[in-house]
Homo-oligomer: A and B are copies of this chain.
Amino acid sequence: MTTPRMHGFTRRVGGLAFGGDYNPEQWDPAVWWEDVRLMREAGVNVVSLGVFAWASLEPEPGKYEFAWLDVVMDLLHDNDIAVNLATPTAAPPVWLTHRHPEIFPIMADGERFGFGNRLHYDPSSPIYREYAANITTRLAERYSFHPALAMWHISNEYGPTAYTEAASAAFRRWLKRRYGDLGTLNEAWTTRFWSQVYTDWDQIEVPNIPRTWMNPSRILDFKRFTSDALLECYVAERDIVRSYRDDIPIATNFMRFYRHADYWRWAEEEDAAALDIYPDPAQPDSHVSAAFQYDLFRSLKGGQPWMLMEQAASAVSQWKLNVVKEPGRMRLGSLQAVSRGADSVMFFQWRASRGGQERFHSAMLPHSGPGSRTFREITGLGREAGLLAPVAGTTSRAEVAVLFDWNGWWGLEEVAGLPRNDFSYADTVMRHYTPLWERHHAVDVVSPHSDLTPYKVLVVPNAYLIDDRGVEAVTAFARDGGTVVMSFFSGVVDECNRVRPDGYPGAFRGLIGARIDEYWPARPEEEFTVRFTGGRTATATWWRDDIHLETGTALATYADGLLEGRAAVVANAYGSGRVVYFATLLEEAAFAEVLLDEVRAAGVESRFPGVPAYVECAVRENGRHEYLFLLNHDAGLPATVPLAVPGTDLLTGTPAAGEITLAPLGAAVIQTARQAPARSS
């Protein structure tokens, strides 16, 4: 499944990539030799170089200083450290913004961004794009064939949303491409409401101040446009470096639960999905949320190994409270990423800065130096990354898929005027994902346009806004024999954010076998009792559909309230498949039970039945082997995991059979022969 470019990269680094952002321009050259010595000590085999080096590479417009970078590239190469070379365009130098302040974005509050932070550019600015293309070209000219070069790191954490004149002009061009003529746009946006009809393209602007209570279709298209405008910046730089050399992989680094860029579209333009992730050590469940991200990032490129591009060695510094990763946590979290498909373990950054905004962000080599706890743990992890080289390039398989869609996210969270306006798409998705994670089910993440044939169960969390193609895909999945588990407020509006006609839920009325008269959000204090057909009861809150069964039957009904006796959970036979629809928000345990029952009924078995939830279990595989990752997230409890077949723990090199015991925060990676008969591809 791996592309030739990424295959080459893996071969080049000899297995898993291990390293981090390296910013030598912050330091005296004398430090560089110490850096490289300690990198070797730590097992570093790749660094991301020059991410914020524009001012050092082009100190004045058109005047370039590559000598220092030549030295560093050579030095790294001489020490067998590969380079993921960055275009430095995430932080334009002050001479550029001072000469062209119009490249600064205007922010949502109407103020123009100034110099001194980063991502201080309007992606629609032609001037920014021109200067960015130029420095990219210069780097490509000089380093495309440098032997240290192993990968290109395009810019950094694309993100800015801009409300500039340039953005309005680009938005109009984007809309013309999308709609062709104003009549179509007016229809798509329902502009007859509140007298918003456009009669000239020039009347259209990015959403104005105040940005609240705006036309929901305009907001939605502006989200799409902004994602695409940033993507254009990426593609432009990618195409430049590609034009110099074709065999080097290219990617940019994405972020965790990042709402403002549609990574499904972006992933098509990347050689690898690369993730920057900073799970908060102060949050006890942050590793579950991380697991979902890892499954998403593996899925973004169809199962191809992804890159953990940035994480923290210990604490970060950007929050109000920045708790450290306690001993062992950094290692465990890194192995977790690998268990879910990462072929790299990388950090921001190599050496802690003395000054600047992130000087208290932890680093592989912290202020307290090579004698520190953190550096010891880094060195240990580097050694283990080497032991895990056989894992590189392996993949995994799942029979359950969770739908995750940026358009749906925007529909739920970017626009006011819904029956209730406190939806959190991330929370909703995690509510659906967590029971599967706790039972060690392998899960893929899918978009409305993904191929669903590999799956037996499709989970659809609050898919309020979904396009016609997505509606057809979900419907066909059930029709063709799959099990769809869907929750309330799904299929309500079309891709233009217009209510689908003929009663709720317009897209899925046939699928769920019921029509909904009205959505009944609950008051904060309201609780309802739901009784399942078997007799057990559960509590429901937050939302009720005023639902009327058509072909569906009730799995559970309300035992109290004005909807007493009415359906709370609906089952419907659809085609040769089955649909279960949650018309309310069930308490977690009851929701999990229904979900897991459906998964089981669909013929999906957990590989790790009976293993407690705090031991995360995941499997990677290739043609010959399986690699069982067993990760004990509990700091106090040991755990014993039965092994179906004997194998070898790659971390210790010792045989493992029967069962394996994990110390608190302990981990094992068991290599076994592939059990092909047990599962069909």
**In the bound complex, do residue B91 and residue A210 qualify as a contact, i.e. CB atoms below 8 Å apart?**
no
With A318-B417, A417-B358 known as contacts, the answer to whether A195 contacts B518 (CB < 8 A) is no
- A54 CA / B374 CA spacing, docked (Å): 63
| A624 beta carbon closer than 8 Å to chain B | no
Interface string of A158-194 (1 = CB under 8 A from B): 0000000000000000000000000000000111111
- 10 pairs of A and B residues whose beta carbons are closest in the complex: A114-B208, A190-B355, A193-B356, A91-B195, A55-B195, A55-B197, A355-B498, A26-B192, A94-B203, A317-B417
**In the bound complex, do residue A354 and residue B190 qualify as a contact, i.e. CB atoms below 8 Å apart?**
yes
Listed stretches A34-42, A418-426, A607-615, A667-675; interface member: A418-426
| A52 beta carbon closer than 8 Å to chain B | yes
Taking CB atoms, residues of chain B closer than 8 Å to A640 are none
Interface string of A74-92 (1 = CB under 8 A from B): 0000000000000010011
| A199 beta carbon closer than 8 Å to chain B | yes
The contact sample of 17 A-B pairs, CB cut-off 8 A, is: A26-B190, A52-B193, A53-B195, A55-B197, A92-B195, A98-B203, A116-B218, A190-B353, A193-B358, A196-B356, A213-B318, A323-B520, A323-B521, A368-B516, A369-B502, A372-B518, A373-B518
**In the bound complex, do residue A214 and residue B117 qualify as a contact, i.e. CB atoms below 8 Å apart?**
yes
| A30 beta carbon closer than 8 Å to chain B | no
- A562 CA / B282 CA spacing, docked (Å): 15
**In the bound complex, do residue A95 and residue B417 qualify as a contact, i.e. CB atoms below 8 Å apart?**
no
Listed stretches A2-10, A105-113, A337-345, A397-405; interface member: A105-113
Give the residue of B94, B214, B362, B417 whose beta carbon is less than 8 angstroms from that of A197.
B94
- A369 CA / B517 CA spacing, docked (Å): 9
Interface string of A350-369 (1 = CB under 8 A from B): 00111111111110001111
Known: A111-B209, A193-B356, A359-B499. 11 other contacts (CB 8 A): A52-B193, A55-B192, A111-B210, A112-B209, A116-B207, A193-B355, A215-B356, A318-B416, A323-B521, A355-B497, A368-B515
Shortest distance in angstroms between A519's beta carbon and chain B's nearest beta carbon?
A: 8
With A205-B115, A214-B357, A523-B282 known as contacts, the answer to whether A199 contacts B60 (CB < 8 A) is yes
Shortest distance in angstroms between A50's beta carbon and chain B's nearest beta carbon?
A: 10
**In the bound complex, do residue B518 and residue A366 qualify as a contact, i.e. CB atoms below 8 Å apart?**
yes
Interface string of A223-267 (1 = CB under 8 A from B): 000000000000000000000000000000000000000000000
Shortest distance in angstroms between A14's beta carbon and chain B's nearest beta carbon?
A: 32
| A648 beta carbon closer than 8 Å to chain B | no
**In the bound complex, do residue B372 and residue A517 qualify as a contact, i.e. CB atoms below 8 Å apart?**
yes
**In the bound complex, do residue A205 and residue B114 qualify as a contact, i.e. CB atoms below 8 Å apart?**
yes
- A147 CA / B530 CA spacing, docked (Å): 56
**In the bound complex, do residue B113 and residue A195 qualify as a contact, i.e. CB atoms below 8 Å apart?**
no
**In the bound complex, do residue B194 and residue A356 qualify as a contact, i.e. CB atoms below 8 Å apart?**
yes
With A354-B498, A369-B503, A420-B320 known as contacts, the answer to whether A314 contacts B52 (CB < 8 A) is no
**In the bound complex, do residue A322 and residue B373 qualify as a contact, i.e. CB atoms below 8 Å apart?**
no
Shortest distance in angstroms between A314's beta carbon and chain B's nearest beta carbon?
A: 6
Instruction: Please list the residues of chain A having a beta carbon within 8 angstroms of any beta carbon in chain B.
Output: 23, 25-26, 52-56, 59-60, 88, 91-95, 98, 107, 109-118, 189-200, 202-203, 205, 207-210, 212-218, 282, 314-315, 317-324, 326-327, 352-362, 366-369, 372-374, 416-422, 496-499, 501-504, 515-524, 546, 562
- A60 CA / B361 CA spacing, docked (Å): 57
- A133 CA / B506 CA spacing, docked (Å): 43
Shortest distance in angstroms between A537's beta carbon and chain B's nearest beta carbon?
A: 22
- Chain B: which residue is nearest A50 at the CB level? B195
**In the bound complex, do residue A355 and residue B216 qualify as a contact, i.e. CB atoms below 8 Å apart?**
yes
**In the bound complex, do residue A199 and residue B95 qualify as a contact, i.e. CB atoms below 8 Å apart?**
yes
**In the bound complex, do residue B516 and residue A98 qualify as a contact, i.e. CB atoms below 8 Å apart?**
no
Shortest distance in angstroms between A412's beta carbon and chain B's nearest beta carbon?
A: 13
Shortest distance in angstroms between A328's beta carbon and chain B's nearest beta carbon?
A: 10
- A499 CA / B354 CA spacing, docked (Å): 5
- A563 CA / B421 CA spacing, docked (Å): 44
Give the residue of B212, B214, B499 whose beta carbon is less than 8 angstroms from that of A355.
B499
- Chain B: which residue is nearest A56 at the CB level? B192
Main SS at interface, chain A: loop
- Chain B: which residue is nearest A321 at the CB level? B420
Give the residue of B23, B111, B116, B321 whose beta carbon is less than 8 angstroms from that of A110.
B111
With A209-B112, A373-B517 known as contacts, the answer to whether A355 contacts B189 (CB < 8 A) is yes
Shortest distance in angstroms between A493's beta carbon and chain B's nearest beta carbon?
A: 8
**In the bound complex, do residue B116 and residue A374 qualify as a contact, i.e. CB atoms below 8 Å apart?**
no
- A192 CA / B213 CA spacing, docked (Å): 42
**In the bound complex, do residue B546 and residue A373 qualify as a contact, i.e. CB atoms below 8 Å apart?**
yes
**In the bound complex, do residue B199 and residue A52 qualify as a contact, i.e. CB atoms below 8 Å apart?**
no
**In the bound complex, do residue B98 and residue A357 qualify as a contact, i.e. CB atoms below 8 Å apart?**
no
**In the bound complex, do residue B499 and residue A367 qualify as a contact, i.e. CB atoms below 8 Å apart?**
yes
Most buried by B among A53, A193, A353: A193
- A416 CA / B496 CA spacing, docked (Å): 41
- A170 CA / B163 CA spacing, docked (Å): 31
Shortest distance in angstroms between A117's beta carbon and chain B's nearest beta carbon?
A: 5
- A503 CA / B504 CA spacing, docked (Å): 63
Shortest distance in angstroms between A160's beta carbon and chain B's nearest beta carbon?
A: 12
Taking CB atoms, residues of chain B closer than 8 Å to A203 are 94-95, 98, 115
**In the bound complex, do residue A25 and residue B192 qualify as a contact, i.e. CB atoms below 8 Å apart?**
yes
- A477 CA / B359 CA spacing, docked (Å): 30
With A115-B205, A517-B373 known as contacts, the answer to whether A195 contacts B88 (CB < 8 A) is yes
**In the bound complex, do residue A215 and residue B116 qualify as a contact, i.e. CB atoms below 8 Å apart?**
yes
Taking CB atoms, residues of chain B closer than 8 Å to A194 are 52, 91, 117-118, 356-357
- A88 CA / B194 CA spacing, docked (Å): 10
- Chain B: which residue is nearest A94 at the CB level? B203
Taking CB atoms, residues of chain B closer than 8 Å to A418 are 317, 322, 360
Taking CB atoms, residues of chain B closer than 8 Å to A318 are 213, 416-417
Taking CB atoms, residues of chain B closer than 8 Å to A361 are 417
With A118-B194, A205-B114, A282-B523 known as contacts, the answer to whether A356 contacts B322 (CB < 8 A) is no
With A314-B518, A520-B324 known as contacts, the answer to whether A195 contacts B56 (CB < 8 A) is yes
- A205 CA / B519 CA spacing, docked (Å): 48
Taking CB atoms, residues of chain B closer than 8 Å to A23 are 192-193
**In the bound complex, do residue B420 and residue A190 qualify as a contact, i.e. CB atoms below 8 Å apart?**
no
- Chain B: which residue is nearest A193 at the CB level? B356
Taking CB atoms, residues of chain B closer than 8 Å to A199 are 59-60, 94-95
